[in-house]
Copies of this chain bind each other. A is one copy, B any other.
């Protein structure tokens, strides 16, 4: 294992307090892994971006990302610097992630992904 990447005391201040990466990758129709785009990720990312703006969250960036390689679990996002992954399927999921996690600092346990997750757990 190589050296860890934790922050140094001399590092610049963070450019964004919260940086969200929403996978919007598209694969060809019928690909066995599927893709986040076919599951509505583009709409959901745009909704999240608009909601963050409406909430006045100027220190939060809601970014598009290429394939995050957890296609089967999609749509997926990862929130840094804390490195928490979520599966989200509708606007209500986005609202809860924004209100609870991004603003409140509380995890949305029902949507969280764990490193060992490879297939969605239907709820």
Contacts and interface: CB of A to CB of B under 8 A. Distances in A.
Copies in the complex: 2
Contacts of A15: 70, 78, 83, 85, 113, 115
Interface stretch (A29-37, A87-95, A98-106): A98-106
Q: Is the interface of A mostly helix, strand, loop or mixed?
A: loop
Interface string A60-97: 01011111111000000011111111000000000000
A82 to B, nearest CB: 5
Contact of A82 (B7, B65, B105): B7
Contacts of A79: 5
5 contacts: A2-B57, A2-B103, A12-B113, A64-B67, A65-B65
